[in-house]
């Protein structure tokens, strides 16, 4: 979600944006189905809250049940949406804002000009493409080993 949100905001600001992902969308992911109040606020800022909530299952509270049967319910503005659907809504919003979409494209390494990062090497199929950019944002959720090994 961070990559699509970033791409959308940069495209809205007039930047030329390439949003690349190693997977085609929609794609499923194990985590991320629960939408807490912070997520609702972020979706509002991105202009996708209505689209998200049309697809989501709303909930007015979450219940926690202890091993011995004790139960506590916490009210809140909550919802559940499969991650594949959420990611697709955010990707489409980024593309609608002007970002170009490329997938599957695997990040191989940053392009370097001396000590300065000037783009990325992306593998699409069996071909490696060099994409030059003034700015490079990696929104991987975790630092890929190829990035941490090669970043100055």
**pLDDT, one tens digit for every residue, the chain (152 residues):** 899 999 999 999 999 999 999 988 877 777 778 898 899 999 999 999 999 999 999 999 888 899 999 999 989 889 999 999 999 999 999 999 999 999 999 999 999 999 899 999 999 999 999 999 989 898 877 655 555 555 55
d(CA 127, CA 97): 28
Cβ neighbours of residue 58 closer than 8 Å, sequence gap 6 or more: 78, 79
**For residue 95, what are its two tokens?**
């593309």
Other residues' Cβ atoms within 10 Å of the Cβ of residue 104 = 15
Residue 144's SS3 state is coil
The pLDDT value recorded for residue 151 is 53
| CA dihedral over 104, 90, 52, 65, signed as positive or negative | positive
d(CA 56, CA 35): 9
Residues in the chain: 152
> What's this model's pTM, rounded to 2 decimal places?
0.84
């Amino acid at each position: 979600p961070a990559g699509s949100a970033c791409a959308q905001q940069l495209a809205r600001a007039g930047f030329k944006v390439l949003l690349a992902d190693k997977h085609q969308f929609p794609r499923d992911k194990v985590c991320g189905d629960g939408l807490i109040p912070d997520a609702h606020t972020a979706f509002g800022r991105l202009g996708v809250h209505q689209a998200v909530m049309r697809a989501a299952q709303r909930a007015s509270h979450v219940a926690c049940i202890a091993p011995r049967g004790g139960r506590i319910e916490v009210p809140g503005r909550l919802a559940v949406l499969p991650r594949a659907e959420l990611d697709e809504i955010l990707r489409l919003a980024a593309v609608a804002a002007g970002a170009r979409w490329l997938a599957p494209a695997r990040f191989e390494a940053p392009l370097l000009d001396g000590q300065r990062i000037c783009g990325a090497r992306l593998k699409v199929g069996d071909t490696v493409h060099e994409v030059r950019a003034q700015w490079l944002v990696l929104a991987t959720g975790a630092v890929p080993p190829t990035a941490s090994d090669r970043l100055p």
